[in-house]
């Protein structure tokens, strides 16, 4: 399992641990990834995703998983999240078409 957020694409970064004497040694900055079950209003089910806590805060701010995914760039999303985005868009298009007729 890779250390990468499924929604934002945030991953492991490397850098230096710098001491008071300015000695540098390599270190790794890992994102705070958690496996979270998030409800999709459009699909009417819960989806389990491995996301960063930064992405979870953004989902709360935007108003849920569905608006977040519809606004997200396809390059940042994982395959599972991209498939979920397509399902949500398709379901919303069907409900909009049935409401219009």
Concatenating the DSSP letter of every residue in 14-45 gives: EEEEE-TT--EEEEEE---EEEEEEEETTTTE
Do residues 66 and 47 lie in contact, with contact meaning Cβ atoms separated by under 8 Å? Answer: no
Domains detected in the chain: 13-94 (2.30.170.40)
Q: How confident is the model at residue 99 (pLDDT cuts 50, 70, 90)?
A: confident
Q: Is the pLDDT at 40 greater than 70, yes or no? A: yes
Q: Quote the pLDDT of residue 86.
A: 96
Question: Model-level pTM greater than 0.75?
Answer: yes
CA distance 62 to 21: 44
């Amino acid at each position: 399992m890779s250390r990468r957020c499924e929604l934002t694409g945030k991953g492991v970064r490397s850098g230096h641990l710098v001491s008071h004497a300015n000695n540098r040694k390599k270190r790794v900055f890992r994102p705070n990834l958690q496996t979270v079950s998030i409800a999709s209003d459009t699909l009417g089910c819960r989806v389990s995703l491995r996301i960063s806590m930064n992405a979870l805060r953004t989902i709360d701010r935007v108003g849920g998983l569905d608006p977040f995914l519809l606004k997200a760039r396809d390059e940042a999303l994982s395959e599972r999240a991209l498939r979920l985005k397509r399902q949500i868009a398709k379901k919303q298009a069907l409900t909009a078409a049935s409401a219009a007729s």
